[in-house]
C-alpha cells in the first residue's frame, strides 16, 4: 500500500502581485496548498482561480492594521491546520523625503514593514518550534545593508527585517525550523507602474525577474542560509556596500530618491 504524502501549506502575504504572486505560483507548482493574503479580495479570488490545481484559501487582510494582523496571526496559530511555510512579503515604500513626510505615512510604513513581520513571525514561530519543523521567509531588500535612498526610512525598515530574521534563525535552527531574510534588488513587478513611478533611467541590467528571485530564495532557504541575496550583481553590490568606506557609500547614494506607494513587492 502506497504511503500517504502529507500535504504542506504555505501562507503568503502580499500574494497578488510581484514577488508574492511569484511565490504563490512557484509553491503551487511544488504541490503546496496555499493561504494567500492581501488587501484586495477580488484579486485574491482571481489568484485562487489561477492556482486551482491546489487548495487555495483566500484571506483578505490589511496588515498595516491591528485587525488585519490579528486575522492572519489567528490562522498561523491554528494547531489543527498548521502552516509549514510563512512568506512575509507585503510591504510599502515612500517617495518623499523624511522632511516632507507625515507621521501617518511613517507609522503606516513601520506597521507594515516592521510590525506585521514581527507579529506574524511571533505567531508562527512557537508553533513551528513545537512541531520541530517549519520555514519562514521574510522579504527584505539589498537597500537594508546601508543608508541608501537619502531621507527615506524604507532602507531602515528593511535593515530591521534582515537583522531580525537572522537573529531568529540562530534561535530556532536547532529546533528544526529555518528563518531567512530574502534581500532582492530591483525586481520587475507592477508596483512602480501602479504607483506612477518613472523607473526608465534604471539600467536594464539591474532588473531581476520575480520568478528568478523566488527560485533563488527557495534554494537558499533549503540550503539553510539565513540571508539570501539573489543574483551575482547584487551579491557584489552587497559586499561592496558592507565593506566600502561610509563616505563613499553616501556619495554613491546621494542621487537616490525615496518612493511612496503601497507595495506588495
Q: Which of 135, 141, 146 is nearest to 220 (CA)?
A: 135
Q: Which of 2, 81, 84, 92 is nearest to 38 (CA)?
A: 92
> In the annotation, is 154 catalytic?
yes
Cα angle: 105, vertex 111, 116; to 5 degrees: 150
* Contacts made by residues 46-51, CB under 8 angstroms, sequence distance 24+: 46/16, 47/15, 47/16, 47/21, 50/25, 51/24, 51/25
Cell 507594515 belongs to 112
**Residue 50, Cβ neighbours under 10 Å: how many?**
13
Show which residues are catalytic: 154
Amino acid at each position: 500500500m502506497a504511503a500517504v504524502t502529507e500535504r504542506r501549506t504555505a501562507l503568503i502575504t502580499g500574494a497578488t502581485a510581484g514577488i508574492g504572486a511569484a511565490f504563490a505560483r512557484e509553491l503551487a507548482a511544488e504541490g503546496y496548498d496555499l493561504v494567500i493574503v492581501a488587501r484586495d479580495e477580488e484579486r485574491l479570488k482571481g489568484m485562487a482561480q489561477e492556482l486551482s490545481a491546489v487548495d487555495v484559501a483566500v484571506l483578505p487582510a490589511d496588515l498595516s492594521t491591528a485587525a488585519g494582523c490579528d486575522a492572519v496571526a489567528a490562522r498561523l496559530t491554528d494547531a489543527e491546520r498548521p502552516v509549514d511555510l510563512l512568506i512575509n512579503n507585503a510591504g510599502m515604500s515612500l517617495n518623499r523625503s523624511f522632511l516632507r513626510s507625515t507621521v501617518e505615512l511613517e507609522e503606516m510604513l513601520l506597521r507594515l514593514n516592521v510590525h506585521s513581520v514581527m507579529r506574524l513571525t511571533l505567531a508562527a514561530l512557537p508553533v513551528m518550534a513545537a512541531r520541530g519543523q517549519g520555514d519562514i521567509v521574510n522579504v527584505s531588500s539589498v537597500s537594508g545593508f546601508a543608508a541608501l535612498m537619502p531621507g527615506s526610512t524604507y532602507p531602515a525598515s528593511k535593515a530591521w527585517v534582515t537583522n531580525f530574521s537572522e537573529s531568529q534563525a540562530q534561535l530556532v535552527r536547532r529546533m528544526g525550523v529555518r528563518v531567512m531574510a530574502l534581500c532582492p534588488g530591483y525586481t520587475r513587478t507592477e508596483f512602480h507602474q501602479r504607483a506612477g513611478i518613472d523607473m526608465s533611467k534604471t539600467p536594464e541590467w539591474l532588473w531581476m525577474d520575480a520568478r528568478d528571485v523566488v527560485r533563488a530564495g527557495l534554494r537558499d532557504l533549503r540550503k539553510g542560509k539565513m540571508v539570501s541575496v539573489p543574483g551575482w550583481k547584487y551579491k557584489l553590490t552587497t559586499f561592496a556596500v558592507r565593506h566600502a568606506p561610509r563616505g563613499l557609500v553616501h556619495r554613491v547614494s546621494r542621487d537616490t530618491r525615496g518612493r511612496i506607494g503601497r507595495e506588495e513587492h
